[in-house]
Structure 1
Amino acid sequence: MISYPTLKKEATIGVTAPSSGVQEALHDMFRLAIERMSSRGFNVVTGDTAWTQDKAKSAPSRNRAEEFNEMMRNEEIDAIIPPWGGELLIEVLQDIDFSSIKNKWLLGYSDISALMLAITLKTGIATAHGTNFVDLRGEYWDETTAMWQEVLSTKPGGTVIQHSSPQYQKEWKHGEPAPCVFDLTEETEWKTVGDNPVKLEGRLLGGCIDILRHLVGTDYGDVAAFREEHIPSEPVIWFLENCDMNATDLRRSLVQMKYAGWFENCSGILFGRSDANAPVGNYTAEDVYQAMADELGIPIVYDIDCGHMPPQVTFINGAHAIVDVADGKGTVEQRFV
């Protein structure tokens, strides 16, 4: 059984940085995000770690974990949204108090996805893979990003439907910010191996494969125990996005996950768009997707709205999902059951 938090109106958002904080040169951008969220009716509480950054992290790992634990225990904080991802989230996992995790949303992506997946696997509490806090600083939100609020406000037992974006951002232009933050210029096309329509059903699990692969074989990545306790006999749909890996590193990571049993009773894999996936020789990401489809005998969908080429569909770790993909478009129905 999965437990689903519910985002209430005028919620208090805790912003803490279990990975990277915001360096001083970008504090104005961070303040703008706080102002925009406040103007939308949210109360924003920031931790000390959100304002600092040194040696590839916001603070020493113990400090980061303690601040996260405090915000999680704090009954006045309704949801936690880190400023963004980073590099060294994995250091904090040993000091996270999983026994005190409350039924409140944690929303983020990139490096944060290791903490989100670990929480869902260890506790059965749903977590939300989607936008980060700093990218909510726009004058308005594009229609795909904006769904984060509706998704997180869905009550247990409810259903929420999202659609693939009309356009996506090819590259970041921080010096030329758009009113909605993202520069959406490229036509979105969700693709499938074999170019056939695909319909998947199962429990969602996933995040940034660059860091999730490092949970394999650890207490924080015990997929088998989660399945047995929380979703017995139910298939899983994995959603994965690649931040920095080339094609062969992606392949090695997926094979490791396969060897660890992560893809047992898997109904399909969704891969996000990526500006990584560099080919090695003539070996491409598309070759990786084909290999996974052949070896696992499951549908593979790629270039979906997930990851470092926004906007993003908000995927809920643990939710029951039905994913339909045809003619370059996708629909994701999530049921909080």
Structure 2
Amino acid sequence: MIQYPFLQKGATIGVTAPSSGVNSALHNMFKQSCESMERKGYTVVCGETVWTQEKAKSSSANKRANEFMEMMQDENINIIIPPWGGELLIEILEEIDFEKINKKWVLGYSDTSVLLLAITLKIGIATAHGTNFVDVRGEYSDHTTAMWQSVLSTEVGDSITQYSSEKYQAKWQHNNPSPCVFHLTEDTNWKTISNGNVSITGRLLGGCIDVIRHLIGTPFGNVQEFRKKHCNNDPFIWYFENCELTTTDLRRSLVQMKLAGWFENCSGILFGRSAANHPVNEYTAEDVYTELANELQIPIIYDVDCGHRPPQITFINGAFAEVEVEGGKGVITQHFK
């Protein structure tokens, strides 16, 4: 069965950088996140890796893994939220003793999703794909982003419902600070390949496809073993977000996942909004989604609230979910069972 952590009021947040740290020019911005969370009643503990960044990583793989494990084993730390993603988190996986990981939430997206998916697949502890720590630095959060607290405070056996956002951010504007961090200017519209209403159920798994695809064929990406051990052979709903892949690279990655058996007993796939998805020779993301839907004979929903075009719905790896799309609006209910 899946083990679900629980976020208590006034929790202590451990911030460590298993991928990229924060370079000195952005330290003040990061401190705003710490102050924002402390105003909300949390205690924030930052590791050494947060404050350094060199050669595409916060520090050595060994140091990053050790600091993460120390926070996972520290009984005074209740949840771990990295500052943001990065590029090379995958380096630390072989340095982590997964059997010594305590049951507590790890929350984030982008490169962090490699760690999230590996934890859930290896040991059956639910993990949370949602906001990064730097994105909670505003005076307030939009409703979609703010739901991370409610989702992570859901009791085992209970369920929680989230709704698609009203608007999303098309472009980052770091030189134009907003009270809620994001500039939500574009109308959100969840789309389906069938162009009709869709309803699917299954256990959620996913993350940033750029990086989680590299778990295929490793001890950290054994989806079949996870299904047998923790899921009673329930169907899966996969969710993906594309950070930088062209459409042909996206297609290659999805075909590899299919050949590796990741889409066996899959009831549907969700794709987040993406500023990548650059067409190659007029081959578009919609072409990719259509081909996959036809091959797997399953519904595909796209432009959902997931990824590098915020805001983020909080997806729980391992939770049993019901996803419904009607008239461009989405509803997702996650059951902690």
Partner of 2:316: 316
Question: How far apart, CA to CA, are the structure 2 residues paired with 1:100 and 1:274?
Answer: 36
List aligned pairs for 1:25-44, cutoff 5 A.
25-44=25-44
Q: Provide runs of 4+ in structure 1 moved above 4 Å.
A: none
The residue matched to 1:110 in structure 2 has which SS? coil
How far residue 232 of structure 1 moved from its aligned partner, in angstroms, is 2.3
Question: How far apart, CA to CA, are the structure 1 residues paired with 2:335 and 2:262?
Answer: 22
The residue matched to 2:200 in structure 1 has which SS? strand
Question: How far apart, CA to CA, are the structure 2 residues paired with 1:206 and 1:166?
Answer: 23
The residue matched to 2:309 in structure 1 has which SS? coil
The residue matched to 1:146 in structure 2 has which SS? helix
List aligned pairs for 1:278-297, cutoff 5 A.
278-297=278-297
How far residue 194 of structure 1 moved from its aligned partner, in angstroms, is 1.6
Question: How far apart, CA to CA, are the structure 1 residues paired with 2:274 and 2:232?
Answer: 32
Give the AA of the match of 1:188: T
RMSD value over aligned CA atoms? Answer: 0.4
Partner of 1:326: 326
Matched, 1:197 2:176: no
How far residue 121 of structure 1 moved from its aligned partner, in angstroms, is 0.3
Give the AA of the match of 2:126: A
**1:246-289 residue CA offsets vs partner (Å, 9 max, x unmatched):** 00000000000000000000000000000000000110000000
Partner of 2:225: 225
Give the AA of the match of 2:233: S
The residue matched to 2:82 in structure 1 has which SS? coil
Question: How far apart, CA to CA, are the structure 2 residues paired with 1:102 and 1:177?
Answer: 37
**1:82-118 residue CA offsets vs partner (Å, 9 max, x unmatched):** 0000000000000011011111000000000000000
Question: How far apart, CA to CA, are the structure 2 residues paired with 1:272 and 1:329?
Answer: 14
Partner of 2:115: 115
Question: How far apart, CA to CA, are the structure 1 residues paired with 2:65 and 2:96?
Answer: 6
Q: TM-score, normalised by structure 2?
A: 1.00
How far residue 161 of structure 1 moved from its aligned partner, in angstroms, is 0.3
Matched, 1:168 2:168: yes
Aligned length: 337
Which blocks of at least 5 consecutive residues in structure 2 are unaligned?
none
Partner of 1:76: 76
Partner of 1:152: 152
How far residue 206 of structure 1 moved from its aligned partner, in angstroms, is 0.3
Question: How far apart, CA to CA, are the structure 2 residues paired with 1:50 and 1:8?
Answer: 24
Partner of 2:45: 45
The residue matched to 2:56 in structure 1 has which SS? coil
Question: How far apart, CA to CA, are the structure 2 residues paired with 1:223 and 1:193?
Answer: 26
Partner of 2:241: 241
How far residue 4 of structure 1 moved from its aligned partner, in angstroms, is 0.3
Partner of 2:128: 128
**1:5-57 residue CA offsets vs partner (Å, 9 max, x unmatched):** 00000000000000000000000001110000001000000000011100000
The residue matched to 1:145 in structure 2 has which SS? helix
Question: How far apart, CA to CA, are the structure 1 residues paired with 2:116 and 2:80?
Answer: 11
**1:197-240 residue CA offsets vs partner (Å, 9 max, x unmatched):** 00010000000000011000000000000001001220000000
The residue matched to 1:94 in structure 2 has which SS? helix
Question: How far apart, CA to CA, are the structure 2 residues paired with 1:112 and 1:213?
Answer: 13
The residue matched to 2:277 in structure 1 has which SS? coil
Partner of 1:268: 268
Question: How far apart, CA to CA, are the structure 1 residues paired with 2:331 and 2:263?
Answer: 23
Percent identity (aligned) = 64
Give the AA of the match of 2:302: Y
The residue matched to 2:279 in structure 1 has which SS? coil
